Amino acid sequence: MGQELNGPLRLVFLSSGGLLGDAVLQRLLSSEKFEIVGIVRSRRVMIRGAGFLRGAAAYFARCGILYTVYIWTITTFAEFVGLATGTGSITAKSKKLGIPILHTPDINTPEGLAFIQRLQPQLLISAHFDQPLRPPLCDRPGLAVLNIHPSPLPYSRGLEPVLYSMLLSGCFGTTVHRLVESIDGGAIMSTLSYHPTPSCSVFRVTHRLISEGADLLEKLSKEEILTGSGSPQIGASTYNSWPKPNQVRRLYFSGKQLFKLGDLAFFFRKP
């Protein structure tokens, strides 16, 4: 253990990219606690193996046009803009810094497992990553695997917790937890509550919470990250899947929005 704690922890970052993934990556890069030895960017579009067009059609059928455009804007479009501007893109940062990157619709394939094995990380960090992890990529002795989830677990497991909290007048917060096979079900390493202003968009609150989660991770000691048992999730849990068009309409009818014009400034923020 003593030898493992000498120097920065070797880390592979898992994300769908775009503005939310970039927010976490910036914080990890600025920390002396971590050495990012690889990045995995998800190319899954809702359905594993569906491809971009079929996946986009599935988004549209399930979630409607407003949500489909929103999720495309903060991920695919943000990555495209980032390649030109150098901001808002984990792909752009990987190229600039020479960090190996794997684009994959499924990290659990032999290709994904080989990528992780080759890099020999001590730690995987997942944030805004839309793929479940299966053993041997779940948290285990010899490989710490943590996830940043923008809700106070066990409340609002699953997808888009901020959107559902706005719809249901629920609670807001962020959690760093051990990543296990059950979705958002691992032991809690750190958590905090948050009270957004009513005028904030879903994106703005999610960006704030996922960034706060990266800060919580930074405050954990190396020993806590590698071997800390954390705290079990206590209380009733809730789970939400992809939002439906009527839920997105309800969000807008209540005076809230997924993304506001002012949020475009996040495309051009410098680290």
Rg (CA), the chain: 18
Q: Which two tokens stand for residue 199?
A: 């005028």
Instruction: Encode pLDDT of 129-163 as tens digits.
Output: 999 999 999 999 999 999 999 999 999 999 999 99
Check residue 3 and give its pLDDT: 47
pLDDT at 270: 65
Distance, in Å, from the CA atom of 80 to the CA atom of 57, rounded to the nearest integer, reads 20
Q: What is the pLDDT of residue 47?
A: 62
**What's the burial of 113, exposed, middle or buried (CB within 10 Å: 0-12/13-18/19+)?**
middle
One CATH from 3.40.50.12230, 3.40.50.2300, 1.20.1090.10, 2.40.110.10 for 9-268: 3.40.50.12230
pLDDT > 70: what percent of the chain? 94
- DSSP assignment of 124-163 equals EEEES--S---TTSSSBTTBEEEEEESS-TTTTEES-HHH
Place of tokens 């971009």: 52
Helix (H, G, I), strand (E, B) or coil at 215: helix
CA 147 remoteness from chain centre = 7
Region 27-53: mean pLDDT is 84
pLDDT in tens, 56-97: 787 788 899 999 999 989 998 888 888 777 677 899 899 999
- For the chain, the distance separating the N- and C-terminal CA atoms, rounded to the nearest angstrom, is 33
* E strand spans, the chain: 9-15, 34-42, 101-104, 123-127, 144-149, 157-158, 172-178, 188-194, 239-240
- 225 falls in which pLDDT band (50, 70, 90)? very high
pLDDT above 50 (res 175): yes
Residue 266 has a pLDDT of: 84
pTM (predicted TM-score): 0.93
Is the pLDDT assigned to residue 52 strictly greater than 70? no
Q: pLDDT (tens digit, 9 = 90+) per residue, 230-269?
A: 999 988 888 999 999 999 999 999 999 999 989 988 887 7
Rounded to an integer, what distance in angstroms lies between the CA atom of residue 219 and that of residue 121? Answer: 20
Reading the block at residue 21, the tokens are 């993934």
Q: Are 58 and 48 in contact (CB under 8 A)?
A: no
pLDDT surpasses 90 at 32: yes
Strand partners, 178: 146
Task: Give dist(CA 154, CA 234) in Å, integer.
Answer: 7
| Higher-confidence position of 82 and 46 | 82
What pLDDT, on a 0 to 100 scale, did the predictor assign at position 48?
63
CB atoms within 10 A of CB 252: 11
3-state secondary structure of 259: coil
Which one-letter DSSP state was computed for residue 244?
Answer: P
